[in-house]
Amino acid sequence: MDLKPNQLEAISNAVPESTREKLLNPPAKIIGDSIAGILGKVFRPLQEWKIVNEHHLEEFKDNIYDNLSQIPENNRDASKLGLVLKAFEEAKYQLDEKELRNYFSNLISSSVDNRKNSAITPRFATVLSQLGKDEAILLKNLNNQDRHAILGYLSIATPDSKEVSKISPVTLVWNRLTYEFEFEKSLDILSSLGVININYDRKLPGDLHELQISELKECLTFMYGKQYKLEENQKLLFYRGVVTCSEFGNQLLDVII
């Protein structure tokens, strides 16, 4: 982003005085002028047209300031302000969801932190812009349990015709025995974006995971399988698998959470 001093001053003047004071104080001084300029450039038109919720915008800004204040002086790096602008642009229509506000504010502050910004690319902001509330929550849950989870579903197979019909949703296991039935669409979205990998040929080692699988199968059979009266040539199949973060997904979570 190349802004001339007079352009930067004009944009910065559009930002409320209280905001400029926060940005120009020592905790974020190294990037204060540029952040003020970006905030004015990106969000002032949205504020004028009342497209953005003012409370959400203020919370978003406060998150950024808090994050910036925690970056040691010698780790502040203004060399990637283009990534900051990209993140602001992608965030402007995503501020209604709290988790996404947090993710974008963390991405912005990480972009000016030399301990984190070497791995950041424009793709990070692009991916976040394509997430909704459910995908944001799924990522948070994955991060809270070592970035992997067991999943499974039931199908009915008819060997004679080689037909297999899925009869249950893909179900995730959280915190050992909490089941999530509503995230199948989110799994597809995150997989298509390259954030997670889903592997039905993989097992996780350990007795706990075997217990989780056994109890998930029992749960799905009770909820979905028992309502079907199998014909003589049919059988119930349980597919087990693991969802994990991809290499890119791990890099993303390292920055946004």
pTM summary value? 0.85
For residues 154 and 226, state if they share a domain: yes
| CA nearest to 44, candidates 19, 23, 63, 64 | 19
Alpha carbon separation from 8 to 5, 27, 224 (Å, rounded): 5, 20, 61
> How many of the other CB atoms lie within 10 Å of CB of 205?
7
**3-state DSSP helix/strand/coil percent for the chain, to nearest 5?**
55, 15, 30
Q: What's the 3-state SS for 167-229?
A: CCCCEEEECCCEEECCCHHHHHHHHHCCCEEEECCCCCCCHHHHHHHHHHHHHHHHHCHHHCC
Contact 36, 11 (CB under 8 A): yes
For residues 56 and 120, state if they share a domain: yes
More confident residue, 32 or 202: 202
Mean pLDDT for the stretch of residues 15-44? 67
For residue 248, tell me if it sits in a domain.
yes
Q: Among the three residues 129, 161, 180, which one is the final residue of a domain in this structure?
A: 129
For residue 188, tell me if it sits in a domain.
yes
For residues 152 and 192, state if they share a domain: yes
For residue 241, tell me if it sits in a domain.
yes
Q: At what angle do helices 17-24 and 54-69 cross, to 10 degrees?
A: 20
DSSP class of residue 4? -
For residue 257, tell me if it sits in a domain.
no
For residue 152, tell me if it sits in a domain.
yes
Mean pLDDT for the stretch of residues 134-150? 96
84 vs 38: CA distance, rounded Å: 8
For residue 21, tell me if it sits in a domain.
yes
**Could you list the residue range(s) of the whole structural domain that residue 93 is in?**
5-129
How many structural domains does the chain have? 2
Least confident of 15-29, 210-224, 232-246: 15-29
More confident residue, 183 or 20: 183
pLDDT at 62: 92
DSSP class of residue 74? G
> How many of the other CB atoms lie within 10 Å of CB of 207?
7
For residues 46 and 75, state if they share a domain: yes
pLDDT at 63: 94
pLDDT band of 9, cuts 50, 70, 90: low
At 179-188, the pLDDT tens digits run 999 899 999 9
197 vs 120: CA distance, rounded Å: 20
For residues 45 and 73, state if they share a domain: yes
Mean pLDDT for the stretch of residues 60-64? 93
For residues 10 and 63, state if they share a domain: yes
For residues 109 and 39, state if they share a domain: yes
For residue 92, tell me if it sits in a domain.
yes
The full DSSP string for 119-154 is G--HHHHHHHHT--HHHHHHHHHHHHTTTEEEEEEE
pLDDT at 253: 98
Contact 177, 212 (CB under 8 A): yes
176 vs 162: CA distance, rounded Å: 34
For residues 142 and 233, state if they share a domain: yes
Q: Position 127: which residue type?
A: V
81 vs 224: CA distance, rounded Å: 52
For residue 238, tell me if it sits in a domain.
yes
Tokens for 19, please give them: 């905001």
For residues 54 and 92, state if they share a domain: yes
At 86-120, the pLDDT tens digits run 999 999 999 999 999 999 999 999 999 999 999 99
pLDDT at 227: 86
For residues 94 and 200, state if they share a domain: no
Q: Among the three residues 129, 156, 173, which one is the final residue of a domain in this structure?
A: 129
For residues 43 and 157, state if they share a domain: no
